[in-house]
Every structure is written in C-alpha cells, then in structure tokens.
C-alpha cells in the first residue's frame, strides 16, 4: 500500500530553535517526495521536492530510503515559518499524489 | 500570468440544496485536480481530469458529487443535496500534464452547509 504518515498534527517550537517535521512513507518502488506549505490565508504551494536536492527558505529534506523517511528540517526557525506543512508521495500513479495529514507548525517568539 | 482561480471564495448554503464550485486552471495546464480539505484533516483527493476526461473518479465521496470539465479548461464540481458533512474547503489544482510534478493550487472555496 502507498501511504504517507506525518505523525505530528501540531509542532510548536521557539524562534531560533531547530525544527524537524517528520514524514514517513510506504511504497515499494522508487518514490518521489514533496513538501508543500500553506501559510495563513495563502494558497497551498510547493516548498521543495527531493529530486531537486535544494534548500528553500532554509529548509532541507533528505530522502532516507532505509528508514522510508523524508523529514523536513531547518536549523533556526523563524516566525514566518509558521504554517501548515504537507508531505506528499508520487507513487505508481503518473498524476496522483498521496498526501500526509499535515503538520501545523507554530513558531513561538 | 494568472494562477489557478476558484469561485466563489465562500459559499453558505442550506442542507439539501445543490451547489456548484468553479475552477479556472492555469492556461495550458492539461491536468486538473479537485481536493477536499476538512478541518484537522489532510487533503482528500476527489477527482482528476486529463483534458476533458476524468480517468479517476475514485475519490468522489458519494453519487451526490460530480464534476465536469469543458474545453480542457474550466471545471465545475457539483454537490447535490448538500449535507452538513460536506462543509469543507474545496481546493482545485492544475499541472502542466499527466507527468507534471508540481501541482499549482487555487485559493479554495470554503463551503458551509447549515
């Protein structure tokens, strides 16, 4: 079965602290993974994808096939990082993404 | 260029009424998706269009839900005989093609069924 699990519904950290949003996936093939973000009153948008191996807004995510994880990390959280974060998997389907339930990140001042 | 647009932005209706939600994808995008986002839930896939055809309707929750797309562009999601559990934000997204990796989302329509 293809599945994406984000175990934390809510994550609250202080400004300047490291943040890690967890994402685990279940997929037997070669996965493509994405992180999408939805800031307050804004539309859902792509943050980063693992194939690009990029850092966006200080966030990085490494695909760990051994642990079937794609955790999103940032060393020093900023208040503007407060948002809803979704992890998504492109599995067998050419078009459909499998979505996690999302993690609401709150950065406390 | 304009992004994905959706109308109305908010819709309040009475239980039992029908509603139509509209999505205008990015020009040239052949793939179009409808999702439902309920409070505290993730994204629930409803339906996917490639051009005007819908190869995957598996996510539609019941036969009260239907969607169509015309001219390979605008799509409407219709909910008949609305129920309170239909209350949610309905999101539309488009992508350049069936293998498009990134989905571009609209602002959503917040549906409230009283």
pLDDT in tens, A47-96: 998 877 788 899 999 899 999 999 999 999 999 999 999 999 987 777 77
* Domain with B106 in it: 5-113
What distance in Å separates residue A46's CA from the closest CA in chain B?
A: 7
Q: Does A40 touch chain B (CB under 8 A)?
A: no
A contact test, residue of B25, B33, B43 with most A CBs within 10 A: B43
Q: Where are the domains of chain A?
A: 3-104
Cis peptide before B8, with omega less than 30 degrees from 0? yes
Tell me: pLDDT of A107 over 80.
Answer: yes
User: Of B42, B91, B108, which has the smallest distance from its Cβ to A100's Cβ?
Assistant: B42
The fold for domain A3-104 equals: Immunoglobulin-like (2.60.40)
* Contacts (Cβ under 8 Å, ≥6 apart) of B55: B48
CB contact under 8 A, B106 and A43: yes
Q: How far apart are CA A55 and CA A11, in angstroms?
A: 21
- Centre a 10 Å sphere on the Cβ of residue B38 and count the other Cβ atoms it contains: 13
pLDDT at B1 over 60: no
Once rounded to an integer, what is the mean pLDDT over residues B21-37?
A: 94
Collapsing DSSP to helix, strand or coil, A50 comes out as: helix
Instruction: Give chain B's domain count.
Output: 1
What is the three-class DSSP state of B114?
Answer: coil
Question: What is the number of H-type helices and E-type strands within chain B?
Answer: 0, 11
Whole-number average pLDDT of chain B: 91
Q: Does the structure show a pLDDT above 90 at A108?
A: yes
For residue B54, name the pLDDT band (cuts at 50, 70, 90).
confident
Decide: helix, strand or coil at residue A85.
Answer: strand
Interface test with B, best of A95, A96, A98, A102 (most B CBs within 10 A): A95
pLDDT bracket for residue B65 (50, 70, 90): very high
CA angle B92-B97-B103, nearest 5°? 40
pLDDT of residue B100: 59
Report the pLDDT averaged over residues B74-94: 96
Contact call for residues A81 and A57 (beta carbons, < 8 A): yes
Q: pLDDT value at position B40?
A: 66
CB of A43 within 8 Å of a chain B CB? The answer is yes
């Amino acid at each position: 079965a293809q599945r994406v699990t984000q175990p934390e519904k809510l994550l609250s950290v202080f400004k300047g602290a490291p943040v890690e949003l967890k994402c685990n996936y279940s997929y037997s093939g070669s996965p493509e993974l994405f992180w999408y973000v939805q800031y307050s009153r804004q539309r859902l948008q792509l943050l980063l994808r693992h194939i690009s191996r990029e850092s966006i807004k200080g966030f990085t995510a490494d695909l760990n096939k051994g642990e079937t994880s794609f955790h999103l990390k940032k060393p020093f959280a900023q208040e503007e990082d407060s948002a809803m974060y979704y992890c998504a998997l492109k599995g067998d389907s050419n078009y459909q993404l499998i979505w996690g339930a999302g993690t609401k990140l709150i950065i406390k001042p | 260029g304009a992004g994905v647009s959706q109308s109305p932005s908010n819709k309040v209706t009475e239980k039992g009424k029908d509603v139509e939600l509209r999505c205008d994808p990015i020009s040239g995008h052949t793939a179009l998706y409808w999702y439902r986002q309920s409070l505290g839930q993730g994204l629930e896939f409803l339906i996917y269009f490639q051009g005007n055809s819908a190869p995957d309707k598996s996510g539609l929750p019941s036969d009260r839900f239907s969607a169509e797309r015309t001219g390979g562009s605008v799509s409407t999601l219709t909910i008949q005989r609305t129920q309170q559990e239909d209350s949610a934000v309905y999101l539309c997204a488009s992508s350049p093609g069936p293998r498009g990796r990134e989905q571009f989302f609209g602002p959503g329509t917040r549906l409230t069924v009283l």
